[in-house]
Structures are given as structure tokens and as C-alpha cells.
Structure 1
Amino acid sequence: MAKYKETIDLYSDDGKVLKSNVTLDKISPLVNPASKKLIDLAKRSVAVNLGGIEAALKTGKLGKGGVIMGRELDLPIIANKDAIVAKIKDMVDVNGGETVVHEYKGGNLLLVEVPEARITSASTYDAAITAVAAATTYAIVDQFKVSMFDAPAVKATTFGAYPHTMDMEGAFVTSILSNPQNNEGLGYGFRNIGVNHFVMMTHRNAMQGAALAATLETAGEFEMGGAIGPFERHMLLQYAFQGLNANNLVYELVKENGQTGTVGTVLQSLVGRAIEDKVIVPGKKGGYFQFYDTKDPMMWNAYAAAGTLAATMVNCGAGRFAQAVSATMLYFNDLLEHETGLPGTDFGRLMGTSVGFSFFSHSIYGGGGPGIFNGNHVVTRHANGCGIPCVVAACALDAGTQMFTPEGTSAIMGETYGQIPEFSKPIDQIAKSI
């Protein structure tokens, strides 16, 4: 990749400088040690809900919403969790001792990190979840000498309805990554993570959640070929200023407007900051209208993306509702274009995405709230790495207005992945690793 001379300062989510004079390449998902560890763990880590498996077997609730009466199994799984964990580790190991198992909630929840060899020797990342699900199945069958006639019930708790469904519907073995068949194009794996997952993994911290989403969305952009040549700098600048609070821009915009501000006042602050930093300069006049010019459209896009996140935090934070995020992303950028004569975030694509997002998240269609969307969705995929971070921030600030709450859909993600610093505090970890 290219080497960059221009530098940024990285700030925390509370406005304190973490690292100064950082060249752009140092935050790249191809280079930054914390980002690389995060990406690696996202592929190799699998959550196992042992408590959920025990309860499901006891009641016969198998698959998503299914109950098979007469197939109940009363197995003391939690009471025997040490033996089951040992069996899982032994079966998932390659050379011996590489499998890491984190236990949470008294062993009710596990986070299993499979050996790197299982991923490097596989064509896709699903080698992790299949290995853990199969090992969990056999560990339970072996521990309790489950008969060949009852073993399929155990398998139904670990693999869910698969292979009758394309994904592991209703499984108690889960990953933040969806199965590859659900990815709608080349390189969409890291963009196919639900908004509510990000919210819970970062414990409802809006800026950390946006950073985690931006990190994996940007990794996805690199994977799909969207950060090649001059577009590499474009993606890194957008990621730095929106996702990592570069030069404290997002924090200062929110602080300046948080108490009494609106989407419009955030816009005024953003344009003022862009003029002050010489990112844009006054151009020609068209009657009463002052056009602005820029010699660095990629830096302008980064400022626009940061402003969009700040406007989202101010507006959705004031109302404690996530539902306004689509309108905020749309009209902040609409106002920005009218104010400057320059393109909005992602050169107009975020505006277009937001129109469809409004319709599908709460208009006359209204199939689900913002929290159940992801960057792989047919509605939200068109904003290249800059839309989902705003949605995550909005849902983190939501006070329970969604039909599908983060606690309802993604609690386990917070209780497992959210205990790993790279997932829960990405801003700090990325800066620390430079």
C-alpha cells in the first residue's frame, strides 16, 4: 500500500488526545495491529450459549420458534460445563493448546477462539463456527452418552435449523459474522454484521460503536476492492475522521451543539471548521449564493462524514430515538450540498441510501427498526462504510423505542465479544497499538 506523509491526531471518545502525528497508513486495517487482531478474532471467535442449549433441550424448543414435544432431554450441561469445555478444546485444537475458551456468566456463555490453522486452511471463515458447533454437539453427546436417536436434538441446538435453512437459524452457537451464502457480493463478510450487535459489543457507547462499525466496514471496503489506488486515501480519511475521531472533529462538533443544537447548527459548525482548516474555500458567486471549492475532495468527504455522525448524535441523542437516523443522514447532507455547492458524504451515495433506508426502516413499509440492518442489506449497502457507523451511534443513544432492541437481539454479543478490548474499546486499542 502507499506510504502517506500527511498526519492526523487520534482522540478518545471523551476528547482526550491518544496519539499525535499518526500517518494515514498506520490506521489501515492492513497495517494497524489492533485492527488486524480485531479482524482475526472476528473470524476465529464463536459464542456458545451452554445455558441456552440446556434450556432448549429441556423444553424441546429446537430451531427458530419450533417445539418438538416428546423430544425433550434433561441434561445437566452447566453442572458438567468443565468437562464439556475440555472436550471442546481437545476436539477443536490442531497441534494442542491453541484453542482459547473464555467463560462468562458462570460458564453459561463461552467465547471460543479456534486455532489459526483452521482458518488459514479453509476457503472461508465459516470453518470456525462449524468446528465449534460440531465439537459442542459431540462433547454433549459423549458426556451424557446420548443415544443415536436423541443426538439429532442436540445437533439442532448447536446448528439450529441448518441445513433445512441456509443459515443456522435458532442455533445457540453463533458468530458476529453471517454465513457466507448471505453475503450479497464480493467482500461483504465484515459488512454483514447487525447494527444491534455493534451497539451491544461496545456497551451502548455511541462513539466506540461507530468506531467498531467503521473499522469493520472499512475492512470490508478494502476486501471488496474499494480502497485501491487513490481510493485508498479516500477510505482511510473517511475512516479516520468519522470512525476514529481524528483531530477531535466529531467530539468537538457534538460538544458545541449538544446542549441546544440541531442538525442545522451542526452543519454550520462543520462548514465553519472546514473553512477554518482550509479544506474548502469560497468560490464563484451565483447571485446571492456563495459556492465553495475544494482542492481535496477526499478530505472534504471525510469532514462531511464526520459531520453526519455528529449530527446523528446530536439529533438522535436529544430525542433518545434511533428512528430519526435515516432522516438525519439524508437532510444533513442535503443541507450541506445546498450550503456549499459541494457533494455530500460519499459523493451523494449516503443521501440516496438514506432515502431508501427511511422507507424500509419506518415508512409505509416499516419492516424493522434501524437496529436490525447491516451494511450488507440491499438498502444500506450503497453507502461505502459511512452509513452504518451513524446508525450504530443512533441505536446506542436510543432509550428503548425500537421494536427490536439491542438487548433483545444481541445481548449475548455484549456478554461475549464485548468483553474483549478490541471489540469494546476500538478507538483506544487502535491508537494504543500504533
Structure 2
Amino acid sequence: MKGKTILVGVSGGIAAFKAASLCSALVKEGADVHVILTESATKFITPLTFQSLVKTPVITDIFTEPNPAEISHIALADKADLVVVAPATANIIGKAAHGLADDMLSTTLLATRAPVLFAPAMNVNMYNNPIVQENLTKLRERGYLLAEPGEGLLACGYTGKGRLPEPEELVEIIRAFWQQQDMKGIRILVTAGGTRERIDPVRYLTNDSSGKMGYQLAAEAVRRGAEVTLVSAAVGLTPPPKVRLIRVESAIDMYEAVLAELPGIEVVIKAAAVADYRPVVQADEKIKKTEDKMHIELVRNPDILAEIGRRKTERQVIVGFAAETNHTEANALEKLHKKNADLIVANDVTQEGAGFSVDTNIVSLVRRDRPVRQLPIMSKQSVANAVLDEILSIRRERL
């Protein structure tokens, strides 16, 4: 970040205090940091706090022009290499999504041609409100960057999604932005979601996978310049922009789709939770209740990761995931060798913050002939970038 100009927009939420730590961290990284505070933000934290940290004038009023030789919101918009809005309240998100410009921050957002990263922070019910989600979707579709909010106890007393990521997490996201073309042209296949194994037309066997980790990996790989094919089982998620999406349902469907794509792929990331077994018989009609007990005979599904490992070339990097409940690292190491993978991303799904459906994860990166790299609890966005960094490291070692 050395020599980069970063404009930090702070809107009016209790998480504004974290923005001060963010600015301090960015200055330590060598960035030239400028700050805009909305009027509401000044109710939570003073401009002087930021000015003391970044050593540049802090703008709070669109009609304040400290330098008569320039128009502040145009000058800052032109100067910025990146704009970060943290915290991004529902209000500023709504303004940006609809092109409103009634204060210094919203006006600058319209005027800048620099990439903009929004870090939403608000009450969980506000965040989940369909209007807010629609506004976030609009921003995402228009190319704005979004940092996923964390989940936990909020300042309002509610528990849920809506926490501003910690400053160090935001720094990692920003650092990853500067590396965004480090995967340019690499052809990556990502699998995501939990497969469904049909019993009859209305029932199936599945698992708790939400697909969030796989979708985040696909989104971050695209952002960093990769050509991504996403093989997705049924999930309730919007596919990331610019991915080539292949929808599947069963393990057999995914097996066939992955092997068909494999010859032209340089990196495979198997983040999907694939069912190990399927019913021997899949009824064509709904099975009616007859007795107290029902017996379903199961047969093994093909092992997709093992088959990829058998077919892989010297230049392909194969990544598997291991969701465990005990002996996590030992099981991951065994899987690494057994499946001929290059990297296993392992997690204990019984740990708080590491299970299915949440927006955080706690993983260990397991490779051959080196110590296991244990990561702290992080957003799935940060975990995705850590995994992609490890993949690049493996590729560099083979050159």
C-alpha cells in the first residue's frame, strides 16, 4: 500500500470508532490516508481524532473548502486510488445505490472513478431488510466491492450479522485488493454447496453445507483476475459476477461436471460437501407411508477428489476441504496423501464460528512436508484470500 492514496469515508454508526484504528493501520502500511466524516459520524467520533492519526485535513461539510484552488470532493475523488466506506450504514448504502448526493461523502462517491469498498455495519434486522439487501445487490452488480459484515453480539443488544469487520481484517481485504490481478488468466474450478441424493421426487438426503465458503472463494478468485467455473449444488445464494456457473444436484451430477471440465483447469478447489452415499433406488413417485419403519439401502458415491487426484497433471493444483468433528489435523493430513491433493483446508465444524451457514470460519491449511498453518477466526472472505494466497505459493514453487 506504500504510496497509495486511500480515502476513508466514515458514516454515522457506533462502529465509527473502529475506523480510527483502520486509518492508523493504513498509515502504518505506508498509505496516504484522507478522511471524510458524515455529520452523523461526528456524533460518535471527532474529526480531530482522525486528523491526529492521518495528518491530513478531515472533511465533514460539503461547503467547507480548505484549499480555494480546488473543489474538495472532486479533488479527493480524483486523488483516491481506493475509497473505503467503513462503517457503511444503511443510509449511505441506499444513497450510493440510487445515486443520491446530498453530503460530502455521497457526492464524492458519485464523483470518484476509483474502486469503492463498502463495509456494512448495522443492526441485524436492518441488514437483513430486503430493501437493504436489494441495495447491496445493486452495488455489487455495478462493480462495487463489499466486505462481509461479521456475526455476533451487536452494540444494539441483538445477536446476528451486522458487525463491522475488525480493522486488521479490513486491512487484509484492502491488501488483497492491491494484489487483485495476481491470479490473472488462471483457470480455476470451484465446487460449492451440499449435494442432494433423491429418495423420491419430494425427498432427498443432504447435509448442512450452505455453499458460502465456495461462493466466497469463487468471488475472490474472480476479483483477483482468475477465470472461474463454479460447479454449484443447490444453494440459496446469488452467484458471484463473472463466474461461469454450472448447476448440479447430486454427487453423480457433480462428478460428471467436474471431470468434463478438468482437462482445461489449472486449479481445482473442492469446497462442496458431497454426499458419500446415495439411495440404491430412487422412486419415480412419492413414497407413501405404510409401516412404522422404512428401510433405504445406500450405495457409495464416486469419490470426486480422489478421482481428480488420480488424473491430475504436474501443473494442476488440487485443493480439498475437510469438515471434521475430531482429530481435525490428523484426518486432514491423511486425506491430503490419500487423495493426492496439494492442500487441504481443514476445520472443526463443532467450533463456534466455524460451522456451516455462518459468515466466519476457523481453518488450518495442511500441506505436505511443512508445519500446519492455523488461522484464527476470520470472515469467509478473508479465509478465501488466505487459501488463494497458499495456492499461488504452491504454483510459484513449481515454476
Structure having greater relative contact order (Cα 8 Å, sep ≥ 6) = 1
TM-score normalized by the length of structure 1: 0.29
| TM-score, L = length of structure 2 | 0.31
Larger helix percent: 1
Greater percentage in strand: 2
